[in-house]
Amino acid sequence: MAEPKIIELNNGSMQVKVSNLGCTILSLSVPDKDGNLGDVVLGFDTLEPYQKGLAPYFGSIVGRVANRIKDGKFSLNGVDYTLPINKPPNSLHGGHKGFDKAVWEVAEHKEGEHPSVTFKYHSRDGEEGYPGDLSVTATYTLTSKTTLRLDMEAVPANKATPVSLAQHTYWNLGGHNSGDILDNTAQIWANHITPVDQYTVPTGEIMPVKGTPFDFTSEKQIGRDIQQVGLGYDHNYVLDCGDEKDGFKHAAKIKDPKSSRVLDLWTNAPGMQFYTANYVNGVVGKGGAVYNKHAGVCLETQGFPNAINTPNFPSVVVQPGDKYIHNMVYEFSVE
């Protein structure tokens, strides 16, 4: 069995610490407008709290299927599957022991100008209720001075299976210990969201954001309309209007007014869960920092939630012989 360890990627201008435990981004330090490095990721100083399940998916890759599957049930090729109900009444982020709790194999670690690390995981047939063996790889690369790229692939061996991975980092561009993100601005290149029922499962509808508190098509403060959406944002945005670059869509841009740090996210995924850490409450993190509600923002590019049970959503089923490919690019800057 692989042992949990911490690996550092450093190119002289940004520093990222990742672990093979859940493919987790533990810290990511980038300069502010004055050139001061700051860690912009919520998390813990050691691996122990992650192992004990004290993190609400801080920094990890979640799977085999990210987000909620309604009632923990789906049918595929005439077979009914039942998944663990770990967020009643639904199955969330792969079940009791999803990919975020697995120790991945460190397949390759390169240093130099573009340091990278590749993690591999073999998910067994029947693991957490999912069909078929699945081989998964995830590679983090520092592709430029202040850019992190993540490339994820998954290949089913013998049975069709739903696959939808997501990277679940909680970002706070002011610094992980700088309080809430409500004064940050967000722009999300999505004209639609998938509205949800009382249990945060999409209804199947695709709703225009225009004229609603969900509209981030132009830059606005995250906190401006947040009171109008219950606990906060926790919704899947349909990435349907972003510019393209190298085959990736512009998904989101987050800006912190105090540090002037900016994060631009590019992806090939169809959706992105925009989540404002609504359930974070008194988590003691790095350096004794206490993380409370809205202490970070998650930009979880993904297949649409519960797509396996929603015929009008883009399919998340991957056939044997096919390959699931999910890429994202996190570009940091100051402006």
Omega before residue 124 within 30° of 0, cis: no
Our answer to whether residue 8 is catalytic in this structure is no
Choosing from 93, 127, 128, 168, which is the catalytic residue? 168
Contact between residue 229 and residue 279 where contact means Cβ atoms under 8 Å apart: no
224 half-sphere exposure, CB direction, 13 A CA radius? 14
Rounded CA-CA distance 149/302 in Å is 16
Listed residue (161, 152, 105, 171) closest to 134, CA to CA: 161
19 half-sphere exposure, CB direction, 13 A CA radius? 27
Our answer to whether residue 168 is catalytic in this structure is yes
Choosing from 127, 128, 300, 331, which is the catalytic residue? 300
Burial class (CB in 10 A: 0-12, 13-18, 19+), 3: exposed
Phi then psi dihedrals of residue 100, to 5 deg: -65, -20
3-state secondary structure 238-253: ECCCCCEECCEEEEEE
Rounded CA-CA distance 241/191 in Å is 7
Parallel/antiparallel/unpaired status of strands 220-221 and 261-267? unpaired
Listed residue (168, 207, 174) closest to 191, CA to CA: 207
Which amino acid type is present at position 43?
Answer: G
Rounded CA-CA distance 71/92 in Å is 10
Report the catalytic residues: 168, 300
